[in-house]
A and B are shown apart, each in its own frame.
Chain A
Amino acid sequence: MSMSIIKALDLKTYFPVRKGFFRIAGYVKAVDGVSLEILRGETLALVGESGCGKTTLGKTLLKIVEPTDGKIFFDGQEITGLNERDMKKLRKRMTMIFQDPYASIDPTYNVFKVIEEPLEIHNIGTKEERVELVMKSLEEVKLVPPEDFARKYPHMLSGGQRQRVAIARALILRPNFIVADEPVSMLDASVRVEILLLLKELQKKYNLSYLYITHDIATAKYFSEKIAVMYAGKIVEMGPSSVVLKKPLHPYTKALIDAIPDPDPSNRFRIRKVVKGEPPNLMDPPKGCRFHPRCPHTKDVCKVKEPLLKEVELGHVVACHLY
């Protein structure tokens, strides 16, 4: 058993952009040279704005999307070259929770069927055993009494309850690794904590590892041991959550933190410091550091030379020419 559950080395996922029928006009470089590692029982938060490649990276790690280049190891085994038949055995051990529980659950299935389906696909247990497993998992996600919820249809549930169903479905095969893609961003602020605490509880119980994809660095603080900040297809900073938040190094990380308010009534008297501009087009990202057109500290070198990730202190890496 390997200490790390998932490891990526210089991972690249490019999507071809076609012009006409055959000609490839270029590539959207959604993930462009990402290396990371998540240990057993650990959560890595992947933070960044929409379109920075977070979701593509998550899907690539699960091989829902084929990487263009680079290597992925799952529990010590390289999975990059595996065909779909060999992957299917591993699929039980890795899964994904999506942002929108209204869209990710089949509205014509009742809750029982939603959660049972993965067992069916993987041919696990007899009908009776499956019923028992589904009921147990409903209890685990605190949809009690389970008999009542099993009969319900998605439209009869609140957003939070639906996300619990999605979690129960994801957990029914007892995976080791879950990509949770903005699992709480569609939910009410008060329900977010409830779902995140549930995910934490289940993590402890089953020694799960999460890649927690979010644009909200504030929830990442509470939910993850490590934070990776992604910008335009690249990880620009990564380290222990407490360190990254207390001592952010990359100007982009600082910008993300500055943009988030705490509940504080004196906020209304300040104008927040905001970086200019918008994230680049991933078909044609800026030369040098991809953040340089928006960065308040741009030097000449930033415009020509791409900064590499550098360990500034133990476990804290940053890709920026300032360091």
Chain B
Amino acid sequence: MTEGEILTVRNLFLYYSSRGSIVRAVDDISFELPEKSALALVGESGCGKSSTAIALMRLLPPNTARYEGRVQMNGLDVSNLSEEEFRKKVRWRIISMVFQGALNALNPVLKVGFQVAEPLIHNFGYKKKEALALAEKALEDVGLPRAVAERYPHELSGGMKQRVCIAMSLVTKPKIVILDEPTSALDIITQANIINLLKQLKKERGLSYIFITHDLALSSELADYVAVMYGGKIVERGPADDLYVSPAHPYMKMLLNSIPRLRQDVSLSFIPGAPPDLRNPPPGCRFHPRCPFKIKGKCDVKEPPVVKLRKDHYVACWLYEEESE
């Protein structure tokens, strides 16, 4: 691990077993996240973004078939921690998460304040009164009135509920927060409000984010770094300023060309074909069946090398074989 990195992930795998076959959802990925910065993890549905989050949170489903890799968080090697230690020291303490659609998963019969306080009471042994006071503070920090603590979820709007979910992820004072499509159920204006809040919290608290989304326009709202996932692998990663301006991987280029732009006149195109079946991914580069630049006899046979293009900018593609340092 290098100085100033809050998260380092090396060779992370997460496979599931499903009806007799193995789903290779996260298949040997490595990346790092500098302190106080945000990494956008982008890609189409089913590319392994959310599985990466689950692997980092160690919230593994019962059908997990393979889970391995080295993960360091906040200077601590968490790979070999027992479940007990991970629960005590890491989950919610160092890394927490806002789940996709969580705003609709709030418990309808519990007051909001108690729901925010719950992890403090159950996981960290706070007294109820103490925890509720911290929850109220957390609600205030995400721009809600303290009185919301006494409300039930149905009394709140979608935007307010999402704020509650963010308060939940922050009440335990983590360093890293995983945001899994945190605005996908919200209206455009509410989305902008939530993004503003996330920007402000990042700055005020020095938080680091892993921001999971399929929307490259939205990801640019927070991302200092971008990692592009395809078929369980990271195909390109690097600083946002690099990736948005001069993307290298054909997949990232095509993905960018599919995003409508309000303030620029560019024509849109799409990526023909469909993402691979992770039970039986294509050999070689997983993108080769859809890639207009594929080199026969190479891309369809051998996995591409990871090439360093510039500082912190890596691409896994045969087209850049010559440029490796």
- A residues near B, CB below 8 A? 49-50, 158-161, 188-194, 197, 215-219, 221-222, 245, 255-265, 267-268, 271-272, 274-275, 278
A146 to B272: give the CA distance in the assembly, Å: 17
With a cutoff of 8 Å between Cβ atoms, the chain A residues found around residue B260 in the complex are 193, 216, 218-219, 221-222
Q: Which residues of A contact B218 (CB under 8 A)?
A: 261
Kindly identify which residue among A245, A267, A272 contacts B262, using a CB–CB cutoff of 8 Å: A245
Partner of A221, one of B193, B221, B240, B262: B262
Q: Assuming the A-B contacts A50-B187, A217-B262, are A262 and B44 also in contact, with contact meaning beta carbons closer than 8 angstroms in the complex?
A: no
Contact indicator A257/B262 (Cβ below 8 Å): yes
Q: Which B residue's beta carbon lies closest to that of A192?
A: B258
In the complex, what residues of A have CB within 8 A of residue B44's CB? 188, 190-191
Chain A CB within 8 A of B224 CB? yes
Closest A residue to B44 by beta carbon equals A188
In the complex, whether B274 has a CB less than 8 A from a CB of chain A is: yes
Residues A267 and B221 in contact in the complex (CB < 8 Å), given A217-B262, A262-B263: yes
List, sorted by A's number, 16 A–B pairs whose CB atoms are closer than 8 Å.
A160-B274, A189-B214, A189-B215, A189-B217, A189-B258, A193-B258, A194-B270, A194-B271, A216-B260, A217-B188, A217-B262, A218-B260, A261-B218, A263-B219, A268-B38, A268-B199
B196, A274: Cβ atoms closer than 8 Å:
yes
| Chain B nearest CB, measured from A181 CB (Å) | 15
Smallest CB separation, A315 vs chain B (Å): 21
Contact B188 A259 (CB under 8 A): yes
Contacting A at CB under 8 A, from B209-224, are: 214-224
Q: Cβ of B256 < 8 Å from any Cβ of A?
A: yes
Chain A residue numbers with a CB within 8 Å of B215 are 189
Residue interface bits B189-231, CB-to-A below 8 A is 1, else 0: 1111101100110000000000000111111111110000000
**CB-nearest residue of chain A to B244:** A265
Is B244 touching A263 in the complex (CB atoms < 8 A)? yes
- A217–B254 CA distance with the chains assembled, in angstroms: 22
Asked if residues A188 and B261 are in contact (CB atoms below 8 Å), the reply is no
Chain B contacts to A: CB under 8 angstroms: 38, 44-45, 157, 159, 187-193, 195-196, 199-200, 214-224, 240-241, 243-245, 254-256, 258-264, 268-272, 274
For residue B154, give the distance in angstroms from its CB to the closest CB of chain A.
15
The answer on a CB contact under 8 Å between B259 and A189 is yes
CA distance A213 to B117 in the complex (A): 40
Return the contact of A158 from the options B240, B261, B274 (Cβ within 8 A).
B274
CB pair A189 B223 closer than 8 Å = no
Q: Taking the nearest CB of chain A, how far is it from the CB of B325, in angstroms? A: 24
User: A265 to B189, Cβ gap below 8 A?
Assistant: no
Residue numbers in B under 8 Å from A194 (CB-CB):
258, 270-272
**Inter-subunit contact B220/A267 (CB<8 Å):** yes
CB <8 Å contact, B261 and A218: yes
Q: Please name the 4 residue pairs, one residue from A and one from B, whose CB atoms are nearest each other, closest first.
A: A259-B192, A194-B270, A265-B240, A218-B260
- Whether the pair B220, A188 counts as a contact (CB closer than 8 A) is no
Least distance between A106 CB and chain B CB atoms (Å):
23
Question: Chain B contacts of A222 at CB under 8 A?
Answer: 260, 268
Give chain B residues whose Cβ lies under 8 Å from the Cβ of A245.
Answer: 262
Q: How far is the CA of A66 from the CA of B22 in the complex (A)?
A: 52
